[in-house]
Amino acid sequence: MKFFADTAEVKDIQELNDLGLLDGVTTNPSLIAKSGRKFKDVIAEICAIVEGPVSAEVVSLDYEGMMREAADLRKIARNVTIKVPLTLDGLKACKSLTSDGCMVNVTLCFSAIQALLAAKAGATFISPFIGRLDDIHVDGTELIAEIRQIYDNYAYDTEILAASVRTALHVKQVALIGADVATCPPAVIKGLVRHPLTDKGIEQFLADWKKTGQTL
Ligand code: G3P
């Protein structure tokens, strides 16, 4: 499973990339606002660090506006992936952009049937938001399982990009189901390594090593 960082913080992206853990990045207007930086500058910097897909979201709601913004964003780098909302205009833009060789991430997916539409529109990625479903007491991971089944039934090659992933448990659950990608805040990705028995084991080994009186 691929890991994408869900952030617009360049420093965090550089750190994860240096660790060899990063396959791509997703941003959205809220993350750009949080960074306090200019959208296109941030996307250009991220694309210079990360080889994989970097999602940059359009903000127009109409097809023409989305296509105009996408044309502008695509000029930034070859790995820019245009993120469009799951609306009729978004799906139309998705079809046009993917037909033109551009990667597209269809975002704000909350139902399996929406995901089917995105696959029919040729989406490169579908982004079901599992954490936001959990927020309203709906099991977001069930949505991932439904989409996996539908995509497998019809051999769609749209990748399932589990979004709004907030915990290590989410990551495990979507990996077990077979999501292609999980996009997570950097802290969640770094936290995946932690286990109390690993820490305890290191402590024990170091204490025993000390007893040997040897050095390396
Ligand atoms: O990038 C979209 C998604 O991952 C947002 O997550 O935590 O704001 O629901 P969250």
Provide the residue ranges of all domains of the chain, joining segments of one domain with +: 2-212
7 and 27 Cβ atoms separated by less than 8 Å:
yes
Residue 152 Cα to ligand 1 middle (Å): 25
Rounded Cα distance, 182 and 175, in Å: 8
CA 122 to centroid of chain Cα atoms: 18
31 and 25 Cβ atoms separated by less than 8 Å:
no
Helix and strand totals (H; E) in the chain: 11, 8
pLDDT of residue 78: 97
Query: So what CATH class is 2-212?
Result: alpha beta
- Residue-by-residue pLDDT tens, the chain, 216 positions: 999 999 999 999 999 999 999 999 999 999 999 999 999 999 999 999 999 999 999 999 999 999 999 999 999 999 999 999 999 999 999 999 999 999 999 999 999 999 999 999 999 999 999 999 999 999 999 999 999 999 999 999 999 999 999 999 999 999 999 999 999 999 999 999 999 999 999 999 999 999 999 999
Rounded Cα distance, 56 and 38, in Å: 12
Taking residue 201's Cβ as centre, other Cβ atoms within 10 Å add up to 11
Mutate to test the pocket of ligand 1, among 4, 126, 164 (most ligand atoms within 8 A of CB): 164
Catalytic residue chosen out of the listed positions 34, 38, 83, 200: 83
Which residue lies with its CA nearest to atom 8 of ligand 1?
164
Which residue lies with its CA nearest to atom 4 of ligand 1?
164
Residue 94 Cα to ligand 1 middle (Å): 20
Mutate to test the pocket of ligand 1, among 3, 31, 129 (most ligand atoms within 8 A of CB): 129
Question: Three-state SS across 140-157?
Answer: HHHHHHHHHHHHHHCCCC
